[in-house]
A = this chain, B = another copy of it.
Amino acid sequence: MQTITNKLGEWSYVIGPYKEPVGSVKPGEIFKIETLDAFGNQVDSSTSDITKLIKMPFVNPLTGPIYVEGAQKGDALAVTIISVETTRDYGVSAIIPEFGGLCATPLTRTLNTPLPPRVMIYPIEDNSVIFSRDLNIAPIPYEPFYGTIGTAPEIEAISSLSPGSHGGNMDAADVCPGNTILLPVNVDGGFLYIGDGHAAQGDAEVCGVATEIPTKGTLKVDLIKGLSLRNPRVESEEFIMTIGSARPMEDAARIAFYELIMWLESDYGIEKLVAYQLCSQVARVRLANMVDTLYSVVAKFPKKYLPR
């Protein structure tokens, strides 16, 4: 089984078509990747000021682009996450002064004084994240996923900090082992990028930082010829899901539900206004992030309510 990763100093900070692939996979092939954490593995217990490590735009390094053989514009990639292992016995987190859901940021500007920076180191042991022994907080289950996964737009190169219709930095905990993520193909080979491993994360990722880990992941990429997607989809044992990323947040929710309803109509034969009604009775929603350049909302339809 091959392992794909980027060379030292050649990590990707944009998702786009302009960089040479760092590896190539066949549809259906199982392979491994290695990823850095969102801070490029630079943070440890000696880090006093996180802001000194953040050198924009070189944040959130991604592994990729990965070339998928046979992928052409108008197809979709179906990326199954088989497993995500942390390669470090701790995760890092932080308060970043002008980043997060409850502070002024460069996009929601105010004249208030920024929050003070902080760095947190969370040990990972016994399949759990230890938030604080002092406060005696119960161990948090290790439930890893990739915060960032996406495919290259045709001509744009999008910051690895941004989510969008190409996937990207959605911070959706549904991008986890056992689930399959569907992404649009816009260029030959699809150009898949992945990174930003999280050992644990709350809905909304409210302070902007999860329990950030470097990973070794095992993936499989299938190719769905001729499936043209406007936005990412996810499938789990329990749900079919669509992800909308936009600002304001209601626009992210609108995109997610629109795509879910169109999917219910096209693939399951539920006329769209009926699907709209049905979602109004049974849908579930995950607020994936309220902190990134676009907010991400996951609309989830329980498979048990699909027509039998």
Within the assembled complex, what's the spacing in Å between the Cα atoms of A104 and B101? Answer: 12
Q: A253-B101, A261-B102 are in contact. Are A281 and B14 (CB under 8 A)?
A: no
B248 in contact with A107 (CB, 8 Å): no
User: Is B112 a contact partner of A210 (Cβ separation < 8 A)?
Assistant: no
A250-B249, A308-B138 are contacts. A281–B201 as well, Cβ < 8 Å?
yes
Chain B contacts for A14, CB-based, 8 A: 155-157
Inter-subunit contact A254/B101 (CB<8 Å): yes
Contact (Cβ within 8 A) A206 B156: no
Is residue A46 within 8 Å, beta carbon to beta carbon, of the partner chain? Answer: no
Among B106, B108, B279, the residue within 8 A (CB) of A230 is B106
- Are A297 and B307 touching (Cβ within 8 A)? no
Contact status A305-B249, CB under 8 Å: no
A173 to B135, CA, bound (A): 31
Residues of B within 8 A of A297 (CB): 287
Assess the B104–A250 pair: CB atoms within 8 A. no
Binary per-residue interface labels of chain A (253-272) against chain B in the complex, 1 for a CB within 8 Å, 0 otherwise:
11101100100000000101
Is A111 an interface residue when CB atoms closer than 8 A count as contact? yes
| Residues of A150-168 contacting chain B, CB below 8 A | 153-159
Chain B residues with Cβ below 8 Å from A140 are 281-282, 305
Complex contacts, A132 vs chain B, CB 8 Å? 274, 278
Whether B257 contacts A251 by the Cβ 8 Å rule is: no
Chain A 223-256 interface residues, beta-carbon cutoff 8 Å to B: 230, 244, 246-251, 253-255
Which residues of the partner chain B approach A248 to less than 8 Å between Cβ atoms?
247-250
Residue in chain B with minimal CB distance to A297: B287
Complex alpha-carbon distance, A307 and B137, angstroms: 5
CB-based contact A279/B18 at 8 Å:
no
Distance of A95 from chain B, by nearest CB (Å):
6
Given A136-B307, A203-B285: A112 in contact with B114 (beta carbons within 8 A): yes
A200 beta carbon closer than 8 Å to chain B: yes
A14-B155, A257-B204 are contacts. A131–B281 as well, Cβ < 8 Å? yes
Known: A57-B155, A137-B307, A157-B18. A210 touches B280 (CB 8 A): yes
A14, chain B: closest CB distance, angstroms: 5
Query: Do residues A104 and B110 form an inter-chain contact, with CB atoms below 8 A?
Result: yes
Binary contact track A115-138/B, C-beta < 8 Å → 1, others 0: 110101010000001011001111
Interface centre among A107, A158, A270, A284 (most CB of B within 10 A): A107
13 A-B interface contacts by CB (under 8 A): A57-B155, A108-B251, A109-B258, A113-B113, A118-B273, A131-B278, A131-B282, A156-B157, A203-B285, A206-B276, A209-B277, A250-B290, A287-B287
